[in-house]
Amino acid sequence: MTHPITAPALTPVSTPPQPWHELRLKHPRIERVLDELNTLIHPGSQSSILLVVGPTGVGKSTLAKYMVEQAMADAVAEMTANAGLIPAAYVEAPTSGEDDFSWRMFYMQVLAQLGEDLSAPRVAYGIDPATGRMMKPRGMSLNGLAGLRTAVERCLKERETRFLAIDEAVHIIQQTRPNRLQIQLDTLKSLANKSSAQIVMVGSYDLYPLVALSGQLARRIHVVHFERYMQDRPEDVWAFGRCLQKFQDSRLDLWGDRLFQHSAALHENTLGCIGTLSGVLARAERFARAEGGWTDGALERALLNEAQRSRILEEILAGEAAIDPSMTRALRLTKSRKGGAGSAREVA
């Protein structure tokens, strides 16, 4: 007689586990990029726009939020002395469904983050110096696009905001006709110049071509590469394993210490991207809890399938080749010295 396999009983815990979407790891790659950005963000910087680019699922949104949280934490004493101070702000570039990027929605999001109440229409009034009566001045309305832009500039200056982080900045490109891309970047550059706040655009490798739009823009933009954890670097393998260990520790009631043994397979499947790893483990948890306990099958069903992984890898390799061609050249040079394929022309 065959007896059914019963799942092991779950170990009771005193408090429910933290919701998965709230789990964020400040792992070594994020700390390195944060250090680089903190060096680049300073008054009078010639880099008015910073592009933070990396593969999908690497943890760019987590990085952008950490940036702002860290800036706020570092300025607690200043904010206590000056209640109007907001050292950093975070927004996600909106997708309006329109053909062109909606600057109106963008400006309204920025103003909301800076504490401006836009729930009621605004009309500017003044005093007529001749009559002493209240009057509505002619000119720009704060309810129009130009008025919103002016309000954003004013708020960034008054709040002494050091930088504005724009997450999912690739939406600006995707909702812009090619012949208008430079106009959009000039708009951001002008905002940075007039407000004295640096713009940090965070997104996929699709952002990288922006540096080639014009020489003037190229001079004012600096690119920060947010890399994945590579499988051929021992230090990256170690760091990825540490991240997996932290995820494992967050759900000891479910999978105990049985997750870390799959570190190599998870590294390969997720391409070394911690955001992707988080998504895989979140699905694995759902499958496991639905089955009443942990099984390797729950993890297998949660992995990326080969079509998904291949497509993501294709985009990653193209982005890495574009942003860091010196790495490819160095690799080919090493192969040529060892007698591998590749001519001097190819190496150069």
Task: Enumerate domains of the chain plus CATH numbers.
Answer: 24-117+136-225 (3.40.50.300), 230-304 (no CATH), 312-347 (no CATH)
Nearest C-alpha neighbor of 106 from the set 54, 164, 61: 164
Per-residue pLDDT of the chain (348 residues), as tens digits, is: 444 434 444 444 445 566 655 667 778 899 999 999 999 999 888 889 999 999 999 999 999 999 999 999 999 999 999 989 999 999 999 987 777 888 999 999 999 999 886 554 455 555 666 665 655 554 445 568 888 999 999 999 999 999 999 999 989 888 877 778 888 888 898 999 999 999 999 999 998 888 877 777 778 889 999 999 999 999 999 999 999 999 999 888 888 888 999 999 999 999 999 999 999 999 999 999 998 888 899 999 999 999 999 999 999 999 999 887 654 444 444 545 554 433 333 322
CB burial readout 301-336, b (16+ within 10 A) else e: ebbbeeeebeebeeebeebbeebeeeeeeeebeeee
Paired tokens of 183:
């106009």
pTM score, whole prediction = 0.80
Tokens of 3: 């007896």
pLDDT of amino acid 347: 29
**The tokens of 11 are what?**
């170990």
Tell me if residue 257 falls in helix, strand or coil. Answer: coil
Q: For 163-174, give one letter per residue: b (16+ CB within 10 A) or e.
A: bbbbbbbbbbbe
In whole angstroms, give the CA distance from residue 136 to residue 184.
32
Question: Strand 198-203 relative to strand 49-53: parallel, antiparallel, unpaired?
Answer: parallel
User: Virtual CA dihedral for 320, 325, 329, 330, nearest 10 degrees?
Assistant: -70
pLDDT one-digit tens code per residue, 165-186:
999 998 988 887 777 888 888 8
CB 89 within 8 A of CB 161: yes
Is 297 in contact with 283 (CB distance < 8 Å)?
no
Long-range Cβ contacts of 99-106 (<8 Å, 24+ apart): 99/175, 99/177, 100/175, 100/176, 100/177, 100/180, 101/171, 101/172, 101/175, 101/176, 101/184, 102/175, 103/145, 103/148, 103/149, 103/187, 104/145, 104/148
- pLDDT tens track for 92-134: 999 877 778 889 999 999 999 998 865 544 555 556 666 656 5
- Report the alpha-carbon distance of residue 166 to residue 144 in Å, rounded: 22
